[in-house]
Chains A and B, each alone.
Chain A
Amino acid sequence: MAMNDDQIKRYSRHILLPEVGGKGQKKIANAKIFIVGAGGLGSPAALYLAAAGVGTIGLIDGDVVDLSNLQRQVIHHTADVARPKIDSAREKIAALNPDVRVVAFYERLTAANALDLVKDFDLIIDGTDNFPTKFLVNDTAILARKPLIHGGILRFIGQVMTILPGTSACYRCLFKAPPPAGLVPSCQEAGVLGALAGIIGSIQATEALKLVLGVGRPLADRLLTYDALTTRFRDVPLRRNPTCPVCSDHPTITRLIEYEQEVCRTA
């Protein structure tokens, strides 16, 4: 598929990069990226991936836009309050870049639907707001063998890691199971700096594009943490856990399971 003049102009700053070029831009156009959650992390990730010209963006979110979301969920505007997030996000993406095909699901990711939903996509971005879904997304990525860009935020701190199934450490290599309910506060209870979501979601989009292009060194076997208060990034080296319940050679989790949802509902 050849690019037209408008596309060459639109993506010119990418095409100028030797690591991208016309060939890389076509890889981006052929990419299919699935974003779980159109919230704090999903908003910047979806906007940057759409602007980059990712051919197909899958979005799943069962929530409607709440006024308290707008402090950080930049894909949604004031007029979108009470609308399904996927409708709001789909419109913004279409307005930003008509080259992008959006496949949107107005539902929650569940153990029953996850594997089927991700099967047509190349990679997954975690923009979820609760532990049960973060573990479900991780297990889905491992079982479906799709790369996953994990992200998490709380207060002024964020974390990101790229998971290459069968190759690098997964979320369960670090955290075997969700913490006991109520022990780790949610953003709803503890708050989060809105701009922090922009940084972490943008890193997730960047890491996704690197994998699509096959350039650089992925954020695999590393947990990147960002502390906004001290403006420090830390990169903690990781290794696959030989006793990981899902990605080790002898897994105890061989099909998707769901943990009970906790309180953090106002994404």
Chain B
Amino acid sequence: MKVKLNGKIEDINQATVLELLTARNIEPRMVSVEHNLKILDKEDFGRTPLREGDSIEFLYYMGGGG
């Protein structure tokens, strides 16, 4: 199915947000996920189904500035 991932249309076959993170080798604890404009609780990554046309943003922690 086609989803918009970080602003780009991509063809994916993962069923949940957690599966998508795992497939991309992204450690779930180091990212926030916005799914159709809603920031997900980390506990919900595994039970948030992905559907055709969804918009997903991976938002990364950036702690520098000094």
Query: What is the number of contacts between chain A and chain B, taking CB atoms within 8 Å?
Result: 99
B 1-60 contacts with A by CB, 8 A: 6-7, 27, 29-30, 32, 34, 37-39, 41-42, 57, 59-60
The yes or no answer to A64 lying at the interface (CB within 8 A) is no
A153 touches B7 (CB 8 A): no
Indicate with 1 or 0, residue by residue over A219-260, a CB within 8 angstroms of chain B CB atoms.
000010000000000101111010100000000000000000
Determine whether the beta carbon of A264 is less than 8 Å from that of B63.
Answer: yes
**Is the pair B38, A159 in contact by a Cβ cutoff of 8 Å?**
no
Q: How many residues of A contact B (CB 8 A)?
A: 47
Shortest distance between the CB of A230 and any CB in chain B (Å): 12
CB <8 Å contact, A174 and B62: no
A-B contact pairs, 10 of them (CB 8 A): A41-B66, A63-B66, A129-B64, A152-B63, A174-B32, A175-B32, A175-B59, A186-B64, A192-B64, A236-B7
Q: What is the interface of chain A, defined by CB distance below 8 A to chain B? A: 37, 39-42, 63, 69, 73, 126-131, 134, 151-154, 157-159, 173-176, 178-180, 183-184, 186-187, 192, 197, 200, 223, 234, 236-239, 241, 243, 264, 266-267
